[in-house]
Chains A and B, each alone.
Chain A
Amino acid sequence: MSTYTATLGGHRYRFGSLARLLAAASPERSGDRLAGLAAASAQERVAARWALAEVPLTRFLAEQVIPYEDDDVTRLIVDTHDPVAFAPVAGLTVGEFREWLLSEAADATALAALAPGLTPEMAAAVSKLMGNADLVAVARKVRVVTAFRSTIGLPGRLATRLQPNHPTDDPAGVAAALLDGLLLGSGDAVIGINPATDSPRAVRDLLDLLDGVISRYAIPTQSCVLCHVTTSLDLMERGAPVDLVFQSIAGTQAANASFGVTLALLDEAYEAARALGRGTVGDNVMYFETGQGSALSADAHHGVDQQTVEARAYAVARRYDPLLVNTVVGFIGPEYLYDGRQILRAALEDHFCGKLLGLPMGLDICYTNHADADDDDIATMLTMLGVAGASFVICTPGGDDIMLNYQSASYHDALYLREVLGLRPAPEFEAWLAGIGLLDERGGLRDTGTGHPLTAIGRELAA
């Protein structure tokens, strides 16, 4: 291990390893303090950034933040690194890399070609030297396009996950919320339910319900019931209509173990889902959620700061060419991201790092009631992430999820974002909305009231 040093204000600061340097350079957040990794002072933090700016990118290939022999995520990162893709930036330091990313040379084509040559730690490192505006400016240049029954990530598009959760998985309650979301133009990324239990029977019932509605109304979207990957494998064997395999993942082998997940298990599920061939316009079959703090929460962070560990989870995700990846930023609580300011910063970092590494990055922009944040923070974050070109956002009825007990964006929030930024839904879904009379002549959402034929979904429940 090398020692990294910088002098600031007449004081010489020393950082004993790349992991220590990255942690000290990270913008302030409660989780790094909890882990005992944060810079001890504001000046030490800036000194770490001076030192980090001088580190050559090649250093990240020589010094791993978690040893190769201890961790299968490190092995995945090292073994799949593409030196040819890396070549255009191989001579740069982290500070120079920031400037290159912001330059015109780093256009959509160059950034797409670079992704396999970057390690998560390089992306995390450069993010620590970037301001919020930098994170927006670079991320918006990156385009990652994926498809299943709809196409996600095209320029000028913003997709949404319709999240009709119910605290007891009651099919009628789910269907009522599903109708609400569809009438508000949501669901082109996925119609995704977090089930209250991981019971295979309950998950199967929800899958059948969603598959029935998607088939009946020929909706160009995909469903997902967010159960454990082993439950999905079991259900696929039993012939259930599984469009996307979901799994929460993290950036260390030990944290993934705490989720009951191994790379071998994900490999198996990926192959099984692809074999079903249920996509129409594409075959991206995986859906991952991540979030800063999960590794620390599982005591599996190996002394690496939470933003760097989060970026490492994207190395796991990109192995599977996922349709969707979203960070659930703010869900984990104030011990990791204390307030709206820290949640915003993390959202921008995660989106930037995910896109830079080649992922179809979306967000669950959210907060819990024990964090110091509110619906104004949602609006701020949503606007910045819309400008940054987020692939999709999760939306809930009225911004309130009654199953997971947290607040996220609402369907209304997504309409706001489409309105102010001129963003449109996924093309297949937009055509479907137009075909069933939910779009006006300007492409905005028509207020059809309860007279629309889709309300048959609800009328059958209500009658």
Chain B
Amino acid sequence: MTETAVRNDELWPLLRRHTQARIGLGRAGSALPTRHRLGLQAAHAAARDAVHSPFAPDTVTAGLQGMPTVRVRSAAGDRPTYLQRPDLGRRLDPVDRAHLPAGDWDVVFVVADGLSSRAVHEHAAALVRATTARLPGWRIAPVVLAEQARVALGDDIAHAMGTALVVVLIGERPGMSAADSLGAYLTYRPVPGVTTDADRNCLSNIRPPLGLTYEVAAGKLAGLMGRGRELGRTGVELKDESDHADVLDRLR
């Protein structure tokens, strides 16, 4: 097809197939047309409501199809505390810490509610299954289901369980177009209170079909995990080269 084959009134609808961004909205003076202004408000209302929906660990357990799980809470006792005290969301509840098993595992997956339990309910179990399927020979710890949890809670969990690698799958902050986006954070030998965000690798927007699919995310994650274990580190020095031709050269 040539450029002229696209009629003017078809252009924005066709372009919207490539993005959920609010493009081609038109204008009322300088402002948004009324229907788009109300559309934004509706999306914001849905996101506000999503932040406050409770975590249901049973939903994740069911999706893991028999993989063993452990439930923990952070030191943030409820949602309002969680929102205002990130320090408490990074620490385990002392009682729950004592109940965590320790063992000779290569990796522990932590499924954490974060700021969207909806993302976790919809995507976390499938991503754990797709990733573990790419890790033959790895000794995988029971999946930890963590409530009122932030990313760094994984450091405390890995430390308590004696696990070298921790992968935290966590509900990201809901946006207007996406209230169900999952993030994955990979950290090698974290030390609570010492490990920083520069020591982690991150994949965000895991949210099929519009964001990263489980297969793509699992491929990137398993690749990073393998190289992280090989190099003995994660973070800014470990790049996501999964789609890079010279990846082997750079790894030697």
**A→B interface (CB under 8 Å):** 30, 34, 164-168, 170, 172-177, 179-180, 196-202, 228, 230-231, 257-260, 297-299, 333-335, 338, 368-370, 374-375, 396-407, 410, 412, 415-416, 418-419, 445, 447, 449-451, 455-456, 458-463
The residue that B27 contacts in the complex, of A200, A369, A403, A415, with Cβ under 8 A, is: A415
| Bound CA span A377–B214, Å | 37
Closest residue of chain A to B179 (Cβ to Cβ) is A369
Interface membership of chain B positions 1-44, coded 1 if the CB is closer than 8 angstroms to chain A and 0 otherwise: 11101101111101110111111110101111000100011011
CB-CB nearest 3 A-B residue pairs: A398-B22, A405-B175, A173-B19
The residue that A398 contacts in the complex, of B25, B197, B210, with Cβ under 8 A, is: B25
| Bound CA span A174–B20, Å | 11
* Interfacial chain A residues near B85, Cβ < 8 Å: 34, 335
Q: Are A405 and B244 in contact (CB under 8 A)?
A: no
Q: Which of A405, A447, A449, A459 has the most CB of B within 10 A?
A: A405
The residue that B175 contacts in the complex, of A231, A404, A460, with Cβ under 8 A, is: A404
Q: Are B240 and A198 in contact (CB under 8 A)?
A: yes
Closest residue of chain B to A183 (Cβ to Cβ) is B24
Q: Does B95 contact A (CB under 8 A)?
A: no
Q: Does B241 contact A (CB under 8 A)?
A: yes
Q: Does B63 contact A (CB under 8 A)?
A: no
The residue that B15 contacts in the complex, of A231, A398, A401, A458, with Cβ under 8 A, is: A458
The residue that A450 contacts in the complex, of B9, B30, B198, B241, with Cβ under 8 A, is: B9
Q: Are A298 and B196 in contact (CB under 8 A)?
A: yes
Stretch at the interface among B64-72, B102-110, B132-140, B200-208: B200-208
* Interfacial chain B residues near A400, Cβ < 8 Å: 21-22, 40, 43, 175-177
* Interfacial chain A residues near B235, Cβ < 8 Å: 260
| Bound CA span A201–B220, Å | 13
Q: Does B47 contact A (CB under 8 A)?
A: yes
Q: Which of B39-91 contact A (CB under 8 A)?
A: 40-41, 43-44, 47-48, 50-51, 83-87
Q: Are A375 and B41 in contact (CB under 8 A)?
A: yes
CB distance from B203 to the nearest CB of A (A): 6
Q: Are B83 and A462 in contact (CB under 8 A)?
A: no
Q: Are A177 and B44 in contact (CB under 8 A)?
A: no
Q: Are A34 and B19 in contact (CB under 8 A)?
A: no
Q: List 15 A-B contacts (CB under 8 A).
A: A165-B21, A166-B19, A335-B83, A335-B86, A368-B173, A369-B175, A401-B175, A410-B32, A412-B30, A415-B30, A419-B30, A450-B8, A458-B11, A458-B15, A462-B14
Could you tell me the dominant secondary structure of chain B's interface residues?
loop
Q: Are B32 and A201 in contact (CB under 8 A)?
A: no
When A450-B12, A459-B6, A462-B10 are in contact, do A196 and B241 touch as well, CB less than 8 Å? no
Q: Does B99 contact A (CB under 8 A)?
A: no
| Bound CA span A396–B177, Å | 13
* Interfacial chain A residues near B87, Cβ < 8 Å: 34
Q: Does B212 contact A (CB under 8 A)?
A: yes
CB distance from A354 to the nearest CB of B (A): 24
* Interfacial chain B residues near A335, Cβ < 8 Å: 83-86
Q: Are A460 and B3 in contact (CB under 8 A)?
A: yes
* Interfacial chain A residues near B181, Cβ < 8 Å: 167, 405
Total A-B residue contacts, Cβ distance less than 8 Å: 202
| Bound CA span A170–B18, Å | 8
CB distance from A256 to the nearest CB of B (A): 9
Interface membership of chain B positions 98-120, coded 1 if the CB is closer than 8 angstroms to chain A and 0 otherwise: 00000000000000000100000
| Bound CA span A407–B21, Å | 12
* Interfacial chain A residues near B47, Cβ < 8 Å: 369
**B→A interface (CB under 8 Å):** 1-3, 5-6, 8-12, 14-16, 18-25, 27, 29-32, 36, 40-41, 43-44, 47-48, 50-51, 83-87, 115, 172-178, 181, 193, 196-198, 202-205, 207, 210-212, 220, 235-237, 239-244
| Bound CA span A399–B2, Å | 33
The residue that A402 contacts in the complex, of B19, B27, B31, B237, with Cβ under 8 A, is: B19
Closest residue of chain B to A254 (Cβ to Cβ) is B196
| Bound CA span A458–B16, Å | 10
* Interfacial chain B residues near A370, Cβ < 8 Å: 51, 83, 115, 173-174
* Interfacial chain A residues near B210, Cβ < 8 Å: 167
Q: Are B6 and A462 in contact (CB under 8 A)?
A: yes
Q: Which of A168, A259, A298 has the most CB of B within 10 A?
A: A168
* Interfacial chain B residues near A401, Cβ < 8 Å: 175
Besides A462-B15, A463-B2, 15 other CB < 8 A contacts? Answer: A34-B87, A164-B21, A167-B181, A172-B19, A173-B21, A176-B21, A176-B23, A201-B241, A201-B243, A375-B40, A398-B22, A398-B36, A458-B11, A461-B18, A463-B5
Closest residue of chain A to B211 (Cβ to Cβ) is A167
| Bound CA span A460–B15, Å | 10
CB distance from A3 to the nearest CB of B (A): 29
| Bound CA span A30–B40, Å | 27
Q: Are B178 and A177 in contact (CB under 8 A)?
A: no
CB distance from B48 to the nearest CB of A (A): 6
| Bound CA span A308–B176, Å | 32
* Interfacial chain B residues near A172, Cβ < 8 Å: 18-19
CB distance from B216 to the nearest CB of A (A): 8
When A170-B19, A334-B84, A412-B27 are in contact, do A451 and B197 touch as well, CB less than 8 Å? no
| Bound CA span A457–B235, Å | 37
Q: Are B32 and A412 in contact (CB under 8 A)?
A: yes
Q: Which of B24, B51, B241 has the most CB of A within 10 A?
A: B24
Closest residue of chain A to B16 (Cβ to Cβ) is A176
Q: Are A405 and B243 in contact (CB under 8 A)?
A: no
CB distance from A421 to the nearest CB of B (A): 12
| Bound CA span A179–B15, Å | 10
Q: Are B23 and A298 in contact (CB under 8 A)?
A: no
| Bound CA span A323–B198, Å | 26
| Bound CA span A58–B181, Å | 50
* Interfacial chain B residues near A202, Cβ < 8 Å: 243
| Bound CA span A415–B43, Å | 23
Closest residue of chain A to B39 (Cβ to Cβ) is A398
Q: Are A199 and B175 in contact (CB under 8 A)?
A: no
